[in-house]
Every structure is written in C-alpha cells, then in structure tokens.
A and B are shown apart, each in its own frame.
Chain A
Amino acid sequence: MEIKKKKGIKEISPIDVYKLLPRTNCGECSEANCMAFATKVVNGEASVDLCRPLFTPEHTAAYGGLQELLAPPVKTVTFGSGESAAVIGGKHVLFRHEFTYQYPTIIAIDIADDLDPDALSERVNQVSRFTYSYIGRTLRLDALAIRCVSGDPARFREAVLQVSEVSPLPLILCSHDPGVIGAALSVCADKKPLIFAVTAKNWREMGKVAVHYSCPVVVSASGDLSLLRSLARTLQDWGIEDIVLDPGTYHGEHIATTIHAFTAIRKTACKDFDPLFGHPLLGTPISVWNGQELSDEMNRWQEAYLSSMLITRYADLLIMHSLEGWVLLPQLIWRFGIYTDPRKPVSVDPGVRPFGNPGPGSPVLITSNYALTYFTVEADIKAAKIDCYLVVADTGGLSVEAAVAGRYFSASKIAESLREYKVAEMVSHNYLIIPGLAARLSGETEEESGWRVLVGPRDSSAIGQMIREHWPPAEE
C-alpha cells in the first residue's frame, strides 16, 4: 500500500499554515493578521480561499502547498451543476468529536425509467416539494437517482431528459450497461451527473464513457473490499479522479457486513491515508426493496433505520426509495445534527424579542436561551402570527426541562430577567406566560416577581391556540 505520509487535520498547527500565507497582515481576509487567519483555517472556521493575495502569481506555489497540506484524506466529489450541485466526501476524521464533519450526506431518491411520463413528473415533484421546517431552517432532499429498469437505452435517455427538464437537482445515472449510460450522457453530460456504476465486469467500457464525458463515477464491488480497491486503483491509474466507493449495502441478516465495511474503509482513509479508500462512500438503503418478499411497510421500516445507521457510519451519499415523510424526516434531522460543529455550544443571546407588532396589551412569554428551544418557540410564534414579547432568559444554554431540573431556570431567575430587561415598561399588564414544562415554578414566581403567572403549553406548538383562547386573561 503506498501511503503518503501526511498530517491529519488535528496535527496541523497554525504555524504550518502561517508559513505558506503571504504574511503581509493586509487584512483582506477580515482577520487582524495572517496568524489569526491561520488559526481560523486549521480550526475549519475559514477557507484559505478568503486570502485573496494567495491568488496572485507569486503565491501560486504557496497556494498549492496549502491545498495539499489541508486536503482531506477523503476527497471531495462534485456532481450536478449550478447552484444545486452536490459536493460529497471531504472528510478529515473518523470521529465527529475530533473535527466537524464536512459536507452533509446527500440524500438521493430513485426514479425508475419505466414510469409513465406523468408518474415520473409527479415523483420528481414530490422529491422537490418535500420540505420540513426545523428550528428556522428548511430541510430538503438533494438529488435524484434515475434507474434503468427498462433495459432500453432510448427509454432511459428519454427519462433522463424529462427529469432534467423538470428538476435542477443533481442526477445519478444508474445502470451496469455502458451503452445505457452513454445514451443518457449524450443528452445530459453538461449536467455532470454521477455514473453508477463501474464494476469488475464493465470497468473498461464504463471507464471509457466516464472519460469521454468527464463525469464522476461510482465503483461498485458488493461484499469484496479487495476488488473495490482494485477498481479504484485501476481507474486512478487511468487518470480518473472523481471516484465514489460502493462496498454494497446489505440489510437484514447481513447488516453487520455493511457497518463493518463502511467503518473499515473510512478508517483506512482517515487513519492510514490510503489513497484508494480516500473517496466518498455511497450507501444504498434502496437495497431493502429487492431482498425478500416483504410488505411495503416492512421495507420502509427497514430502509428508515438502515439509512440512519449509514448516516452515522460514514455514508457521504445515500440512494433511497421511500418517499414517505415518516421515513425521510428522521434522516434529514439526523443528518442536520451529526454535521453540526461539536465544539461550539450555541445558545442565543438573552433579552426580549418582539414578534409582530406588540403593544402594551400584548402577551409576554418567557423561555430558555438553548438554541434549539429558542428556534422552536420562534418558529411556532411566527407560524401562529401573534403579536407578543418573548423574554429569553439566560439559562446557560440549557433547554427549559434541563434548566428547571438544574435550577438554572427558577423563580428568581425569571424575576431577575423581567427586571433586567425592563419588561414592565413595555406592557400595561403584569401577566407572564411561562412554559408548561416549568409549571411547578408558578407559585414561587408570582411571589418573587410580583407578576401574575399563566402556565403555557408544554409544547410551544400550542402557543397560538392558547393565546387565542386565553388572552387577554379574564380579570378576577
């Protein structure tokens, strides 16, 4: 195994980066000086590309050196074009706690080429329409995998053409037949789709197609990691660089094989810097649909938990079949979570936030400054379209439940927040709505703050209903 002796991202010091920067402290990168910028770069907080002076001819060599120094052991592969192009891979580490995972797992949904045109359009539209609003962000699906079920190159080409007309999403072209893939690429190569797949049987012909159209490829060798490396090696020697690895996704009884293979490949890439396994990984939870004769619900259920396991265990790209919301939602949310920066605890700034056009008679609510709590409450208030003030108490970044249990959200904390933010001056009443999860604090809070407490819902989704039904409060 040729192993390039390379530093892992955690071994690179700011000095290593600083040495290659222009060292003029010009400030164009918005940092005070080159050293500060170098520190941000090794922490993954800034891209070297922000140092514009590096792009002048005199720094070409240094820029190249930086790229090599900072190159992740798992390369990136881009497919698709324009704004919705998908970038996969780019991983530096095995464990999320070592360094933020880069480039969230791309989730592609399959489209069979034998669907009639209306059904095909409808399925593509379903994929584009699928969204979920989560702490103020919109989660969505990323790509389409068109499968040649018909076996007919012309039919496949038609399907690809139709899909790319109705959707800008990046495409994966799925067939083991180089003739079929070539037919499709003759009409969509400019979209730079990902080719699935180069195998032991077709590598020469499929390789030619990939070279001819300059498109990235998946190499596929189910259950045979030696063969997978052989294919990667052969293509690399040929000069094909944009490679995605498919070690096969086994489910059911053989789910362990899948987890072991994905783990072994990623470990070899990140710990040994193996260039043959240093490519993004494709997982295919869609495989559950062709295993046994099971009910659709059973297949969906298996596809759901298998997908989440693959997101956890290093898949950079997934091809799924289920379009059911209950199957996809946990994948989108788990992907969001596992790709967040594990080092930076984020809480929102405490204070008072007005929503809508609040006046002296508007309700006052209070919550914690845990980011997930705040964004959830914010989204719910906006959705309910109510005018109100939201007091964000400094609970040390804890959720309401945790803060109540840990006594960070207490009667005295509530009283203190109301005083500090001068809430009494904003409204002409003295009613405070506290979270249902803090209901047990109501008596004490009335005593400590002098405000009258109304207990709100336990889940903020019911805030709108509560305000509509109970505001203004009936005077005793």
Chain B
Amino acid sequence: MPDPVKPDISALIRLLGPGIADLLSGREIELEHVTLEFSELELQIPLSVPLPVQNPGIVSGTHPPSFTGKIPDSLISETFFAEPETYSSRIREVTIGGTRSEGGSRGRSITVGGSSSLPFSQPEHPPAHPPVISLDVFDTKISMPKVLRAHLGDVMDDPAAWAKLNVEKFGADMVTIHLISTDPLIQDKSPREASRTVEEVLQAVDVPIIIGGCGDPKKDAATFIEISAMAEGEGLLLNSVTSDMAEVKTLEPVCKAASESGHCLLGFTGLDLNNAKELNRRIYPHFPPDRLLMDLTTVALGYGLEYSFSIHERARLSALMGDTELQHPTLSACTNAWSAREAWMNLGPGFGSVDLRGPLWESIGGITLLLAGVDLFLMMHPLAVSTMREVSSRLMNPGMPESHGADWVSAKI
C-alpha cells in the first residue's frame, strides 16, 4: 500500500478547518505504545455482543427466470413522491448556558433538541437545532494517545488555558471540564477545590460549560452541589446523574441543587431504555424535565457501537411516537472511540498511521450516532471535530445538486 507512514494531511487539514494546520504541523509521527485511562473518564456499560447471523434464516424472494424478451416500446414513466412523515410528538428543547440576563456570564446560550422527525430522513425537516460539539478538558494530567496529546502542547496542566484553546483554536461550542481529581481512589480533591477549577474555566471562556464528575455517586453529588451554588445562573450541564445516586440517596439533593441554581442535568444509563426511563421518572419529581438530557452510552466502533446506534434509534422513534419519558435530547461521548485499540495502536504498515486512523475512528463513531439522532457530542481530536462540523452542517442544509453526479466510471484516478 502506498505511503503508509507519512500521510499528506496538510491539504486535508486546510480544507477541513482553519487553525488546525499549524497545530498538526508540530505533530509527532512516530507511533508508540500508549496506555489509555478512559475507563476513569467515561463510565462504561452493560453490554454484550451478539454474533452475526451466519446463515440468514429467511428465504430470499423468488426470482423465476421470466425473461419474456418483450422489449417495452419506450421507457415506462413512473413518479416518486416521498410521503411526508409526521409524528405526534417532539423532543424537548433544552437550553444550556446562562447569559447575563439570566444571571450568568456566558456569551451565549445553546439550545439542543426540538426534533420532530427522524434525523436526516426528509430534506424538508432538518433538526430544529444544529448538533453541538463540546471539547474535553481534564483537571488532572492523564495519559492519552500521542495523536491526541500532540494538539494540546503545554495546556494539559492548565484547565483554563486548555478550555481557551478548545474554543479559540478548535471552535468548540461548549467545553467539558472533567473533574477526575475528585475520584476518592485517585487524588480525592475536595468539592471546594473542584469548584475553584470550574471558576477558572468559567472565567477563561464564555461558552456554556459541562461539568464531568468522577463516577462516584456520593462524591459527585457533593461536588455538583458545591459547584451548583458557586455557579448559579451559569446554566451548567452536570454530567452525570445515575441510578447509583438514587441508591445512595444523593440523586434528590443533586436535582434540587441544580434546579434551584438553574442548571441542566444529564442522566446516564448503560444501553438500556428501561433503565433510562426509570432514572428519568426518579428525576422528574425534583427537577424540570425541560432541562434534562440523556446519555444512553456510547461504545467505540469495534466494541459495540452498534448497540449505541440501535438504542439511540429506538429511543428517538419511541419518543417521536409519544413516549414522554424519552423525549429528551441525547449526548454522546464519542471520545470513547479512543478506547478501541484500532484507534491508537500501530497495526503495521498495511493499516496506516494513527494520525489518520485515530481521528477517523472518533469521526465515524460520532457521525454514526449523528445519523441516529444524537444532539450533543463530546469530542477531542481537532480533525474529528472539523469533520463532524462539516458533515452535520451539510446534512442540516441540503441543497439539490445541479449536476447528475460525478462520472466515476471512466475517470482516471
């Protein structure tokens, strides 16, 4: 295979996104074995995988050889009209980020959700709001693949600078600050310390902010309550509330704190719609449904992405057909792509450099779930971000092509 080691990605980068070229120019091309600690960043899930049907059980249609030899006199004219499809219900709209008039300090707020039809199935019904991209910031130095680190330079020790880079250079709509230092099994930093980090990020950028916890249901509750009060009016999205919180009785206090200070919540469940609905039912008595989003779990391509895809399709379809407990916008952590070895490992010259394979892994996971209706994406690699941005904006604004398509048949390639 030609040129497996040094991909010419400069043109690619130039076309996809301004600002990325300079960053990538300093990238390191050699591959190395890296370790990943994503398990600590995004809780993963109940899942198990079915194997493909080897021998499809259904008989194929009958095709009797019925060549009559009777050639029609002329082309028989048929027409096609796509029947407009309407649904009884729509997804709730949730606005994240509080501006000055709402008591916050964000430059603008962002609304997600509002869909009233299946995603990108009809040109006349684009989603009500464009998909939104949030870029990750971590409050603790973590190990991550070189291909991701290469774009970050020295901001990894400084959450505020990292957030600024995400917004100014990579065009993030939002920033997620993952407070993994609060994990009792790691640094066990106090809610107060975590809150100070969030304050710094709020001062550094004026986009809406997502707060990521450490996954411990008690500690996260304490952290979220502290931050809710500190950032009243900022319209944060707290990522996330879980059934585990209900079990240790911290769900209600978190809901109340977030509700009183005007924040949004993300309910996280592991690839199970019944659990998602049950968690929502436990949240409703203490929190306004129109400020609630769902994370139904995103698994990496190769590790069960099809589960995430199907659960989002099912959720969206049920919601549009009237299931009020599922009528919430959804969020996907497509950064989970980087837990797939195919995203970061050197697989030999036949499989190209991770400089392209890695961001492609993240892009395809994100685009697949975009097609399933996801509204908000947590992402990391600049190339994946610009690809997602490009694809989603083109899907949002369909135009009829003038030409009859490219003639690839006789093209010299």
Contacts and interface: CB of A to CB of B under 8 A. Distances in A.
Interface of A: 9, 40-41, 43-49, 64, 66-68, 70-72, 75-76, 87, 90, 92, 95-97, 100, 102-104, 110, 112, 114, 126, 130, 132, 134, 147-149, 151, 174-176, 196-197, 200, 203-204, 207-208, 211, 214, 222-226, 228-234, 237-242, 248-250, 252-257, 259-260, 263-264, 267-268, 272, 276, 284, 286-291, 294-298, 300-301, 304-305, 308-309, 312-313, 319, 321, 323-327, 329-330, 333-334, 336-347, 370-372, 396-399, 401-402, 404-406, 436-437, 440, 458-459, 461-462
Contacts of A372: 49, 302-304
Contacts of B347: 325, 329
B47 to A, nearest CB: 7
A237 B67 CA distance: 9
B368 A312 contact: yes
B360 A46 contact: no
B248 interface: no
Nearest to B397: A256
Contact of A325 (B38, B314, B351, B413): B351
A309 B39 contact: no
Interface stretch (B5-13, B101-109, B162-170): B5-13
B395 A253 contact: no
Given A256-B123, A326-B357, A401 B48 contact: no
B26 interface: no
B45 A402 contact: yes
A298 B12 CA distance: 5
Given A149-B412, A257-B398, A347 B48 contact: yes
A296 B361 CA distance: 19
Contacts of B1: 126, 323-325
B301 A334 contact: yes
A405 B62 contact: no
A134 B401 contact: no
Given A87-B60, A223-B405, A405-B44, A253 B78 contact: no
Interface string B387-413: 100010011111111001111111111
Contacts, number: 381
A294 B11 contact: yes
A174 B409 CA distance: 6
B121 A340 contact: no
Contact of A151 (B44, B398, B410): B410
A234 B339 contact: no
A225 B83 CA distance: 13
B363 A458 contact: no
Given A71-B59, A305-B360, A397-B47, A337 B75 contact: no
Contacts of B350: 130, 325
A112 to B, nearest CB: 7
Interface in B37-78: 37-39, 43-53, 55-72, 75-78
Nearest to A134: B302
B79 A226 contact: yes
A76 B351 contact: no
Nearest to A328: B351
Given A97-B314, A301-B360, A45 B49 contact: no
Interface string B276-314: 000000000000000000000000011111110110011
Interface in B131-185: 185
A137 B75 CA distance: 46
B59 A204 contact: no
Nearest to B65: A214
Contacts of A148: 409-410
Contact of A230 (B16, B76, B317, B394): B76
Chain B facing A: main interface SS: loop
Nearest to A259: B120
A254 B405 CA distance: 10
Contacts of A325: 1, 4, 347, 350-352
Interface residues of B, number: 111
A253 B67 contact: no
Given A149-B412, A259-B395, A295-B11, A234 B75 contact: yes
Contacts of A267: 82, 121
B245 interface: no
Nearest to B126: A256
A346 B352 contact: no
The listed residue with most B CB atoms (<10 A of its CB), out of A68, A114, A330, is A330
Contacts of A110: 408, 413
Given A103-B56, A248-B405, A326 B306 contact: no
Given A255-B395, A401-B39, A290 B67 contact: no
Nearest to B122: A260
Contacts of B363: 305
5 contacts: A100-B53, A104-B52, A196-B409, A226-B80, A301-B12
Contacts of B325: none
Given A234-B76, A372-B49, A406-B270, 10 more contacts: A102-B58, A211-B69, A222-B405, A301-B360, A313-B371, A334-B301, A372-B302, A402-B43, A406-B46, A459-B35
Nearest to B63: A241
Nearest to A90: B60
Contacts of B364: 304-305, 308, 330, 334
Given A72-B58, A334-B364, A372-B304, A112 B47 contact: no
Interface of B: 1-2, 4, 7-12, 15-16, 33, 35-39, 43-53, 55-72, 75-80, 82-83, 120-123, 185, 215, 270, 301-307, 309-310, 313-314, 317, 339, 341-342, 345, 347, 350-353, 356-357, 360-361, 363-364, 367-368, 371, 387, 391, 394-401, 404-413
Given A211-B67, A333-B342, A404 B39 contact: yes
Contact of B60 (A75, A290, A313, A346): A75
Contacts of A252: 394
A180 to B, nearest CB: 10
A440 B183 CA distance: 12
B371 A312 contact: yes
A342 B75 contact: no
Contact of A287 (B10, B71, B408): B408
Contacts of A207: 71
B182 to A, nearest CB: 15
The listed residue with most A CB atoms (<10 A of its CB), out of B39, B66, B301, is B39
B325 to A, nearest CB: 18
B124 to A, nearest CB: 10
B62 A230 contact: no
B45 to A, nearest CB: 4
A75 B43 CA distance: 42
B360 to A, nearest CB: 6
Contacts of B185: 440
A346 B309 contact: no
Contact of A461 (B43, B55, B75, B341): B341
A312 B66 contact: no
A182 B169 CA distance: 56
Contact of A237 (B50, B72, B82, B410): B72
A321 B2 CA distance: 13
Contacts of A347: 48
Contacts of A305: 360, 363-364, 367, 387, 391
Closest 4 CB pairs of A and B: A397-B48, A326-B352, A256-B398, A325-B351
Contact of B11 (A47, A49, A297, A345): A297
Contacts of B122: 260, 264
Contacts of A134: 302
Given A239-B69, A324-B1, A372-B49, A70 B39 contact: no
Nearest to A246: B405
A67 B59 contact: yes
Contacts of B77: 226, 230
